[in-house]
Copies of this chain bind each other. A is one copy, B any other.
Amino acid sequence: MELVEKMLAGDERALARLITLVERDSKEVAQIMSEICHKTGQAYWIGVTGPPGSGKSTLVDRLTAVARSRGLTVGIIAVDPTSPFSGGAVLGDRIRMQQHYLDTGVFIRSMATRGSLGGLPRAARRVAKLLDAFGKDLVVLETVGVGQTELDIVESADTTVVVLYPGGGDAIQTMKAGLMEIANIFVVNKADRPGADQVVAELETMLSLNVRNSDWRVPVLTAQAVNSVGIEELYGAIDDHRRMLESTGQLAVQRRGQLKKELIQAIEQGVSERLERLMRRDDNLAQLLNKVGSGEIDPYATAQEILTNPVIFKKWLSRLEV
């Protein structure tokens, strides 16, 4: 594909066009991904997530500055939610990143959740692969929010940084649970605010209960991104984590696992889509659906009957389109 060749040769406009194709889930995506596949795996992927208001964008901005000062190029994917009403993206404050706009060593792309939520992690990973193949040394996946979608996105990173802040109150409390599992590094940002010590202490307590990985003790750092305080330390912690992953061989294992998961998910999704289409045109199911809809039979019990009935189930599957 000419566009891929141009991109691999360093054409930034070709990169932008490929990203758009990937975002739109165009028909060329499989071909594009196949062609860049052997060029990926060079970049180091960093996931940055945390609740809204934690100052992630500023932190990513400052981290980017540190990386640039060390001669590394950076690709940033900022995933923002979309209003289903206006159809437009509630884009994050990209103005904070302005200092990097003229720097060709930094490529910034905002992605929004257009329609289907399930498709976003997939699209974000694909865009990250494009930036990886393009030759960026670091790829940062920044997500606004802490829902399942965001966790799915940052999970594919090599190192995941979770940003919290004092004063988030209940919100933080609730969100910590899901974040605990995925964080390799915690940063309590806005650490000059009252309550920062308490957030750090709480995280340390929760972490002390964890014996997940004896090769890595999840650090709890503090930062004031707006004042560029604590950024070098964060950069150092990411580097430490990277060296640990590399020296223990975990990086390769992690990446292999991620790629395998992508294959399995893609197959499952394909089968689900075909199944849904089949169900929509199946007369027997239409009858069952009506009975379920009228409350005559229970949906779960009916599903189980179908799934455990060799005649019905096999007949259905044999009719799934390829």
Contact = CB atoms under 8 A, between A and B. Distances in A.
Interface of A: 29-31, 33-34, 36-38, 40-41, 51-53, 81-86, 90, 117, 122, 126, 144-149, 168-171, 173-178, 180-181, 206, 209-210, 256-257, 259-260, 262-264, 266-272, 274-276, 279, 288-289, 292-304, 306-310, 313-314, 317-318, 320, 322
Contacts of A81: 174, 177-178
Q: Output the residue of A169, A266, A313 with the most chain B CB within 10 A.
A: A266
- Which secondary structure dominates chain A's binding surface? helix
Contact of A295 (B82, B209, B259, B300): B259
Contact of A301 (B34, B256, B293): B34
A69 to B, nearest CB: 29
Contacts of A262: 292, 299-300
A208 to B, nearest CB: 10
Given A40-B295, A293-B259, A271 B307 contact: yes
Nearest to A266: B303
Contact of A318 (B271, B288, B318): B318
26 contacts: A30-B304, A31-B301, A37-B296, A37-B298, A37-B301, A51-B171, A52-B170, A52-B174, A52-B175, A83-B206, A84-B177, A86-B209, A259-B293, A259-B295, A259-B299, A260-B289, A260-B293, A262-B292, A263-B289, A264-B276, A264-B279, A266-B299, A267-B306, A270-B304, A270-B306, A318-B318
Contact of A275 (B178, B181, B267, B300): B267
B180 A84 contact: yes
Contact of A256 (B51, B85, B294, B317): B294
Contacts of A292: 259-260, 262-263
Nearest to A129: B298
Nearest to A22: B300
A140 to B, nearest CB: 19
Contact of A317 (B90, B264, B317): B317
Contacts of A86: 206, 209
Contacts of A170: 52-53
Given A122-B300, A267-B307, 19 more contacts: A30-B300, A30-B301, A33-B298, A38-B295, A41-B295, A52-B170, A52-B171, A53-B170, A53-B171, A85-B177, A85-B181, A86-B209, A90-B174, A256-B294, A263-B289, A266-B303, A268-B276, A270-B303, A271-B272
Contacts of A175: 52, 145
Nearest to A172: B52
A165 to B, nearest CB: 10
Contact of A309 (B126, B171, B322): B322
A272 B268 contact: yes
A301 B271 contact: no
Contacts of A126: 300
Given A52-B170, A300-B126, A307 B295 contact: no
